[in-house]
Chains A and B, each alone.
Chain A
Amino acid sequence: MHIFKDTHFDFLRWRWHAIALSTLIIVAGVATIATKGLNKGVEFAGGTVIIEKFDQPVSVQQVRGALEKTFGQDIAIQEYGDPSLRQVMIRVPQVGAEAGASLGTTADAIEAALKQANLGAFTRQATEIVGPAVGRELTTKGIWATVLSLAGILAYISFRFQLSFAMGAVVATVHDLLVTFAFLAFFGYDLTLNVIAALLTITGFSTNDTIVIFDRVRENLRSMRRDSLDSVINVAINQTLGRTIITSGTALLSALALFFFGGDVLHGFAFTMVVGIITGTYSTVFIAAAIVSFWRGSTTRAAAHAPASTSAPAPQQPQRKQKPQKKVRAS
């Protein structure tokens, strides 16, 4: 059984379209973030989240009405979990002062306001109260973790392949992060710790796909000495296309299972993974290889391009048994 059999798509020919599309999405994402702002989760923005289980059914509007007077418009109320559980998640931007034990006073104030509104009895299921200091520290740490993990991947691929490949992989990964951010902004998901975890996972697995293709490019560079770099890359992408689609597909199946069945806590995480897997596959095929082609572009392979003729430099004995730990020479 084959999804793709012996394909010959000219992926590099579409690179400008791909780059245009990506740029469009990223610019739209930046614009959305600039105007609407990215919804920061309570871990980053600070604030108080409290989940209450009501004895009688209450509507989101009722809860909102009870709290708006005290806590302003900028509050989020939503049902939490199965409707039959009558659980409501309340998020307000306020926290008690970051001094002594007063951090939790806002949670008490929410409960006091709910009691006043006569919505029936309720019990506290969970609270999450985060002061502004934690959010600041987490943001710094998150940025560092992303930058360092990209740098680590860059170093590893440069060591195992060469710099142009590493640049291709890292640009593709950064692209995936930006596109995922854009989609988080479009759909208004909160930037939470779980979402950050998903983003960091994407950096790992987007690279995964890219490495598989690069590995094929490296192999083909040895066997297709007469062909241009672009056609070597195209062949490599086509050869691995079935595998790329299948693995992305199975990963996507898992992520979708999480999205639909994983519960409210994992929703943002699963959404990020779904977007990340799709854009990761797309960038592997259309972006990563294009970058390698740009980077090495016109210069290095020019000699080998020369139409197959007798004047071609005497080829070295092609290595039959490949040793990937050896760097590929450019010419």
Chain B
Amino acid sequence: MSNLRWKVITVVAVTVIFSAVGVYPLIAQRYGINSPSWLMDKALKLGLDLKGGVHLVLRVQTDDALRLTTQQDLERLREALKTRSIVVGNMDAPDTVHFTVQGVPPAQDAAFREAATEVAANFDRSAGTNGTYTFTMRPNVQINLRAESVVQARQTIERRVNELGVTEPSIAQQGTSGDQILVQLPGVTDVNRAKEIIRSTGLLELKIVEQGPSAKDALLVNGQVPQGMDIVPGLTGTPGDAGTVYYLVKKAAAVTGTDLRNARPSVDENNQPAVAFTLSNEGGNKFGRVTSENIGRQLAIILDGRVQSAPRIESRIQSEGRITGSFTTEEVQNLALILRSGALSASLTYLEERTIGPSLGADSIRSGVIASLVGLLLVIAFMLIYYKLSGVNAVVALVLNLVILLGLMAYIGAVMTLPGIAGFVLTMGMGVDSNVLIFERIKEELEAGRGVRASINAGFSRVFWTLVDTHTAALISAAFLFQFGTGPIRGFAVTLFVGLVSNLFTSTFVSKTLFELALAPRHQVATLSI
């Protein structure tokens, strides 16, 4: 008897706790009842497909990060050779992970090696004929750089999204090669702004202009881009168009976005929107040296590979500067935000893009809820007709199962998606399976002439291991479904998983307790309504 009392207390406690966590916040939310925040914070969250919002999958072009490092190290070596007065021939980076140096004079070979070891430690060096050296980025460095560039991209996107002020954004790495980033922005309506801000590389480079603006061909020397130089298109037109102007600029940047300490919207001398920036100490020193050496020449302000403007350097600039161009006020705000959050060392490409309007999500919720209710009513009706009074027992177990499911999902912070609602409906349908299995077994035992209590005990104990087996098999597939899925499908897998676990509890423990409770007052039980 006291055993039964504890069982009943457990069942009641479970019901109350999970109702409080899972069901009450939803009702309070729906009808605007004021409730303590510690309870409401746990309320089941809706997924993007129900709430509306933006779902983006981007790929980090990790090759960019390798290329950047290769070129930086090449330039650093060039500088190092200059300071050591080692004169070499052509220096070039033919692809993302190699660079070559030609014509190292034999007399200075040892000095060259020393410089190379010091500067290009990330590269394996192999010597060819005539003083040619090929530098190959070490494989482990490549792997690290790729991984870092993805992490860095994720962090940068996080900072940008936070500056956008999105509530509860989700930014995660995914994909088999680990170079994809999933960005979910619930409730965002201005899709294009979000996309622009997330994706923009935000790579700011200030470079000294050698020649230009002019047509592309005019900048070439013997049909080639001169050594250590780059040709960068200006702002007007798309690259390749007839009207586009080009600038011939030094390959090595005077300063880049990483040298920035801050960036903010501002105006230029003509009261046009511009972005003012402050350089870090180190960047300021570098910039001061370059600007003082190049007074009277043009400085190209290059953002994501396009020259925004190319003002003339009037005097030495130490730490403050301004990016001018033809910007709108909003563009200036976006640009300042992007520069503040830091540049991406690798560019991003969209692989997938979903937007769901809030009204569409509301429609989905309505259909999902209607389907759930219809399913629930059908199942309840069937159980009551087929199992009579024992059916009540099954229905209680079923409803409690749903309550636990809601509560557990809210507690673990799972997200309710449309397939998740489908998971709910299926959990109901499949959930009664365990009850049916037990009831059918009880019937069999009764027909075999056993007493009511013995039949019930036998029914539950014989079926228990079958239930463990069936639930484990289903859990195995739910686990792989979770592994496979993205977004909404994960929601479905989680619902299924949690539903299976709670079902095992309700169909065995709760249902049995209810039987015992119903039979307890009677000493002699002759019949069972089943």
* A152 proximity list for chain B (CB < 8 A): 476-477, 479-480
Contact B477 A247 (CB under 8 A): no
A312 close to B (CB within 8 Å): no
Per the bound structure, the CA–CA distance linking A157 and B466 in Å amounts to 12
Whether A261 contacts B474 by the Cβ 8 Å rule is no
A156/B472 contact (C-beta < 8 A), A101-B195, A270-B422 known: yes
The residue in chain A whose Cβ has the minimal distance to the Cβ of B198 is A101
Q: CA–CA, A247 to B435, complex, Å? A: 9
Indicate whether A145 reaches chain B with its CB closer than 8 angstroms: yes
In the complex, which residues of chain B have a beta carbon less than 8 angstroms from the beta carbon of A141?
Answer: 176, 484
**A81: B residues at CB distance < 8 A:** 360, 363
Contacts of A140 in B (CB 8 A): 176
B470 touches A211 (CB 8 A): yes
Chain B residues in 8 Å Cβ range of A260: 371, 374
Q: Contact check, B353 vs A153: say whether CB atoms are below 8 A apart.
A: no
Residue of B nearest to A215 (CB): B466
Q: Is A193 a contact partner of B485 (Cβ separation < 8 A)? A: yes
Q: Give the interface residue-count category, chain B.
A: 35 or more
Interface string of B293-319 (1 = CB under 8 A from A): 000000000000000000000000000
**Partner-contacting stretch, out of B19-27, B66-74, B426-434:** B426-434
Docked-complex contact A103 and B351, CB < 8 angstroms: yes
**What chain B residues lie within 8 Å of A254 (beta carbons)?**
375, 378-379, 425-426, 428-430
Q: Does B489 contact A (CB under 8 A)?
A: yes
Is B289 located at the chain interface by the 8 A CB criterion?
no
Whether the pair B422, A98 counts as a contact (CB closer than 8 A) is no
Which stretch of A24-32, A109-117, A130-138, A181-189 is in the interface?
A130-138
Nearest chain A residue, comparing its CB with the CB of B374: A257
Complex alpha-carbon distance, A219 and B33, angstroms? 54
Stretch with Cβ within 8 A of A (4 or more), from B122-130, B165-173, B436-444: B436-444
Q: A106 vs B176: C-alpha distance in the bound complex, in angstroms? A: 27
**Of A8-16, A71-79, A200-208, A293-301, which binds chain B?**
A200-208
B475 (CB) vs chain A CBs: closest residue: A204
How far apart are B239's CB and chain A's nearest CB, in angstroms?
A: 12
Q: Would A247 and B352 be within 8 Å (CB), given that A149-B476, A207-B474 are in contact?
A: no
Tell me the residues in window 359-393 of chain B with beta carbons closer than 8 Å to chain A beta carbons: 359-360, 363-364, 366-368, 370-372, 374-375, 378-379, 382-383, 385-388
Q: How many residues of A contact B (CB 8 A)?
A: 81
Residues of chain A contacted by B366 (CB below 8 angstroms): 263
The answer to whether A104 has its CB under 8 Å from any CB of chain B is: yes
Chain A residues within 8 Å of B228, by CB: none
User: Once the chains are docked, how many angstroms separate the CA of A211 from the CA of B470?
Assistant: 6
Is B483 positioned at the interface, with any CB of A under 8 Å from its CB?
A: yes
Query: Do B426 and A204 touch across chains, with their CB atoms under 8 A apart?
Result: no
* CA A263 to CA B368, docked complex, whole Å: 7
CA distance A51 to B360 in the complex (A): 9
Report the separation of the CA atoms of residues A157 and B433 in the bound assembly, to the nearest whole angstrom.
20
Q: Could you give 17 example pairs across A and B, Cβ below 8 Å?
A: A53-B359, A101-B196, A103-B350, A130-B352, A137-B176, A169-B473, A196-B489, A197-B485, A203-B477, A204-B478, A212-B437, A250-B436, A261-B370, A262-B368, A262-B371, A262-B422, A273-B426
- Chain B interface residues toward A at CB < 8 A: 49, 57, 59, 175-176, 195-196, 199, 347-357, 359-360, 363-364, 366-368, 370-372, 374-375, 378-379, 382-383, 385-388, 418-419, 421-422, 425-426, 428-430, 432-433, 436-437, 440, 443-444, 462, 465-466, 469-470, 472-481, 483-486, 488-489, 492-493, 496
6 cross-chain pairs, A with B, having the tightest CB-CB distances, nearest first: A254-B429, A263-B367, A145-B484, A204-B477, A257-B375, A251-B429
